[in-house]
């Protein structure tokens, strides 16, 4: 699973420069996306937000496993109000990106941005969001407003989305829970999502170019309170 | 992890009544709480809502592991707005139960319930909610309204709560994501939760008297849509 980079670094310091080349080779190997992860705590630790992807496709079978895992999440009165819209059509993924850029430029113009700075602003924005759109797949997590208890879906939606992200990590895929960076209106318009559905989030799904460092172990400290706040 | 009850049953059918006693013994053993579970997919499959608990205490170290796992959940802009209030004081747990009963009886009276049916209504209600309060511990999942992006906490809260439930299952504890059954007002009043916090849910935490059957594998069917809805 997660590559013990620090141990590589430490061994290079201990062994001196003679070992450095070997160590660099080992570190290059360490940058390879880690294999699938079946240890529960390993999945928890190494599930990080990923923002740049390799083009390797995400097969149906893997998508189904992620969605099936998401659909084991608890829901209010067992209503399971979820829908997972999978997008792998490159033209539609690119269309989402371009719609994001158009909205950013509209904001630039409305905010009184100078015409001579517009190209640079566009480049900056494309750089900021470009990594997401290197993903070969996206999943839009939705809840159905016609579910049995629609006013409870605001709990059910994120619960299932969270399980989806973990399952994706277990299978070797990176994700990131996106709200504002790809606005609701963009997904709704480009993917023609009916008003019947409320979007929880959208996430790219793909093999990471590099996994971020795993979470440190056991950081309960400030989050936990015993008996009273 | 989960006990293959069907296989016990099948073997008793195959072997005839001579094997039945052995099978019943095996099934009694099967009702024992399963061990901890470290396989990711095993945790996903066997995390079920649990509503009746053994009195075995939940040590601090296990609580910390659950909360630490919850705190690896993604949050908006990394704000991590969470607070996990742990309650193991029996008097406070009982006080929550009694506050729930009082509210139910007040509703009974306000709804024009007849005085002669009141005792029966109370017994029915106590039976309905009693199992939750057999738990040796409760965790109230909260978000802090003074976090950086409070209007995004409605996503962050359930994400962390969902991870907490999985981690509890991995450690051998049952949970259930409760909203209405133990009303917000009850926890706020009994546990003196400041207005500063928004409650996501409350969950009992304890060793289940019995684990519900695990989720079936691979139920993505109706939940997934490819390219369009």
Task: Please report the residues numbered 171 through 190 in chain B whose beta carbons come closer than 8 angstroms to any beta carbon of chain A.
Answer: 176-177, 179
- In this prediction, residue A34 has a pLDDT band, given cuts at 50, 70 and 90, of low
B138 at A interface, C-beta within 8 A:
no
Length of chain B: 229
Residue B9 CA to residue B20 CA, distance in Å, equals 9
pLDDT digits (tens, 9 = 90+) for B26-78: 444 444 445 799 999 999 999 999 999 999 999 999 999 999 999 999 999 99
Residue A9 pLDDT > 80? no
Residue of A nearest to B89 (CA): A227
Contacts of A80 in chain B (CB under 8 A): 223
How confident is the model over A44-60, as a mean pLDDT? 97
What pLDDT, on the 0 to 100 scale, is given for residue B91?
A: 98
CB within 8 Å: B217 and A162: no
Average pLDDT over chain B, rounded to whole?
Answer: 88
Residue A20 pLDDT > 60? no
Q: Is there a contact between A143 and A156 (Cβ–Cβ < 8 Å)? A: yes
User: What number is the ipTM of this complex?
Assistant: 0.86
CB within 8 Å: A158 and B155: yes
CB within 8 Å: B86 and A224: yes
Question: In a mutagenesis test of the A interface, which of B75, B180, B194, B220 is the best target, namely the one with the most A β-carbons within 10 Å?
Answer: B220
Q: E strand or H helix at A139, and its extent?
A: strand A137-144
Range A184-198 burial, b when 16+ CB lie within 10 A, else e: bebbeebbebeeebb
Contacts of B142 in chain A (CB under 8 A): 229
Q: What percentage of chain A exceeds 70 in pLDDT?
A: 85
Tokens of B99: 């506050």
CB within 8 Å: B193 and A167: no
Tell me which residues of chain B have a pLDDT lower than 70. Answer: 1-34, 218
How far B106 CA lies from chain A's nearest CA (Å)? 24
How far A202 CA lies from chain B's nearest CA (Å)? 13
CB within 8 Å: B177 and A159: yes
Residue of A nearest to B138 (CA): A227
Three-class SS of A180-195: CCCCHHHHHHHCCCCC
What pLDDT, on the 0 to 100 scale, is given for residue B26?
A: 42
Write the residue in B72, B170, B220 that is nearest to A67 by C-beta. B220
| Dihedral class, residue B54 (left if φ above 0, else alpha if ψ from -120 to 50, else beta) | beta
DSSP 8-state assignment for residue B175? B
What pLDDT, on the 0 to 100 scale, is given for residue B146?
A: 98
Residue of B nearest to A48 (CA): B74
A27 at B interface, C-beta within 8 A:
no
Task: Please report the residues numbered 62 through 91 in chain B whose beta carbons come closer than 8 angstroms to any beta carbon of chain A.
Answer: 63-65, 67-74, 76, 80, 82-89
Contacts of B155 in chain A (CB under 8 A): 158, 177, 179, 200-201
pLDDT digits (tens, 9 = 90+) for A118-157: 999 999 999 999 999 999 999 999 999 999 999 999 999 9
How confident is the model over A3-13, as a mean pLDDT? 33
What pLDDT, on the 0 to 100 scale, is given for residue B29?
A: 47
Contacts of A38 in chain B (CB under 8 A): 39-41
pLDDT digits (tens, 9 = 90+) for A71-105: 999 999 999 999 999 999 999 999 999 999 999 99
Question: Which strands form A137-144's sheet, in the order they lie side by side?
Answer: A197-205, A137-144, A82-87, B224-226
Question: In a mutagenesis test of the B interface, which of A155, A167, A173, A191 is the best target, namely the one with the most B β-carbons within 10 Å?
Answer: A155
Average pLDDT over chain A, rounded to whole?
Answer: 88
SS3 B99: helix
Predicted TM-score of the model (pTM): 0.86
């Amino acid at each position: 699973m997660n590559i013990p980079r620090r141990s590589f670094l430490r061994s290079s310091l201990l062994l001196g420069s003679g070992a450095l080349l070997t160590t660099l080779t080992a570190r290059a190997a360490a940058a390879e996306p880690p294999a699938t992860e079946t240890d529960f705590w390993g999945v928890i630790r190494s599930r990080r937000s990923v923002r740049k992807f390799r083009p390797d496709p995400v097969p149906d079978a893997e998508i189904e496993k992620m969605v099936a895992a998401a659909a084991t999440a608890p829901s209010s009165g067992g209503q399971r109000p979820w829908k997972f819209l999978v997008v792998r059509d490159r033209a539609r993924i690119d269309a989402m990106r371009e719609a994001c850029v158009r909205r950013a430029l509209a904001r630039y113009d409305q905010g009184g941005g100078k015409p001579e700075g517009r190209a640079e602003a566009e480049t900056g924005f494309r750089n900021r969001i470009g990594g997401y759109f290197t993903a070969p797949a996206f999943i839009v997590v939705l809840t159905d407003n016609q579910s049995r208890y629609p006013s409870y879906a605001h709990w059910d939606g994120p619960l299932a989305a969270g399980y989806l992200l973990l399952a994706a990590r277990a299978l070797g895929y990176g994700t990131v829970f996106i709200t504002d960076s790809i606005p609701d209106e963009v997904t709704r318009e480009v993917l023609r999502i009916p008003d019947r559905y409320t979007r929880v989030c959208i996430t790219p799904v793909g093999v990471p170019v590099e996994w971020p460092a795993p979470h440190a172990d056991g950081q309960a400290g400030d989050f936990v309170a015993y008996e009273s706040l």
